[in-house]
A = this chain, B = another copy of it.
Amino acid sequence: MLEALKKEVYEANMLLPEYGLVTFTWGNVSGIDRERGLFVIKPSGVEYDLLKPEDMVVVDLCGNKVEGEYNPSSDTATHVVLYNRFPKVGGIVHTHSTWATSWAQSGRGIPCYGTTHADYLYGEVPCVRNLTKEEIDEAYEKNTGTLIADEFEKRNLDYIATPAVLCKNHGPFTWGKDAMEAVHNAVVLEEVGKMAANCEMIQPKAQAAPQELQDKHYYRKHGANAYYGQINRGGV
C-alpha cells in the first residue's frame, strides 16, 4: 500500500545524509496521505545504506502500525501528534544536524538575523522548554509533540509560516507541505543556525533584521504577491 508515498519518503530520508544533516541513523522523515489518514515513516535505527523503499512503515493517526516489517522510528509518537495538531502539514523531519542541535542545546531560539532566514522561516525559530520528569515518564515522544503544538498556540505562531522548532537539549523538527519540503526546511534551518552563530561571534550585539526587511523577503517568496522563482509562469 501507499507505494508512491513510500518511495517519496524513502527518497526524502536518503537526502538527509546527502545534505550532511545526519550522522549514523540520527534522523527520520515521514510523509502523510491526508485522505487515508495514514503516514509513512522511516524504520527505527536502520542504517541509511541498507534502507529500501519497502522498509518504510505505515502508521495511522492514532500511532498504530498498519503495515511494515520493521518497528517505526522511535520518534513516531511525536510525528503522530504533529500531524493531528498541524492539519496542513504533509511531511515532517527530525535530525540532530550540527548547528540546529547546538542552538537547541543552548536553549535559545534562532533570531532572524537576515534574509536567508526570512526567505523561509517567519520570525525567530522558537526553542521549546524541556519536558518535566512527569511528562517524560508518562509518554516522552507523544508529549514532545504536544509541547511543540501547545507552544505554537501559546506564542500565537503560524506553523505554516514558521515550519521549524527546536526542542531544548535535544534537536530540531521541521515540516512542510510534503516530505521533500520538510527536508528542504531542515537544510535551511541548519544553514541559518550556522550563520546566526557566526553572526553573534562577529558582533555579539547583533540585532534581528528590521521587520520590514523580514516581511519583504518572506512575502517575496510566499503568498499571493510572491514573485520569486517561476511562480507566475504558466506550466512551470
Interface residues of A, Cβ cutoff 8 Å to B: 23-26, 43-46, 70-71, 74, 96, 98-99, 101-108, 113-116, 130-131, 133, 136-137, 140, 169-171, 184, 187-188, 191, 194-203, 206-207, 209-210, 212-213, 216, 220, 227-233, 236
Indicate if the CB atoms of B198 and A198 lie closer than 8 Å.
Answer: no
Indicate if the CB atoms of A44 and B196 lie closer than 8 Å.
Answer: no
Indicate if the CB atoms of B46 and A213 lie closer than 8 Å.
Answer: no
Q: Whose C-beta in chain B lies nearest to the C-beta of A184?
A: B24
Given the known inter-chain contacts A106-B202, A108-B203, please indicate yes or no for A195 contacting B101, CB distance below 8 A. yes
Q: List 12 A-B contacts (CB under 8 A).
A: A45-B231, A70-B236, A71-B227, A74-B228, A98-B194, A106-B203, A107-B203, A114-B170, A114-B171, A130-B210, A133-B212, A136-B213
Indicate if the CB atoms of A43 and B140 lie closer than 8 Å.
Answer: no
**A105 contact from B25, B113, B191, B230, Cβ within 8 A:** B113
Indicate if the CB atoms of B106 and A136 lie closer than 8 Å.
Answer: no
Indicate if the CB atoms of B108 and A140 lie closer than 8 Å.
Answer: no
CA distance A102 to B191 in the complex (A): 11
Given the known inter-chain contacts A105-B114, A206-B105, please indicate yes or no for A229 contacting B24, CB distance below 8 A. no
Which B residues lie within 8 Å of A200 (CB)?
Answer: 106, 201-202
Given the known inter-chain contacts A26-B116, A171-B115, please indicate yes or no for A202 contacting B71, CB distance below 8 A. no
Q: Whose C-beta in chain B lies nearest to the C-beta of A211?
A: B133
Indicate if the CB atoms of A98 and B230 lie closer than 8 Å.
Answer: no
Given A70-B236, A98-B191, 6 more A-B residue pairs with CB atoms under 8 Å apart are A45-B231, A71-B232, A74-B227, A106-B203, A136-B212, A170-B213
CA distance A24 to B229 in the complex (A): 12
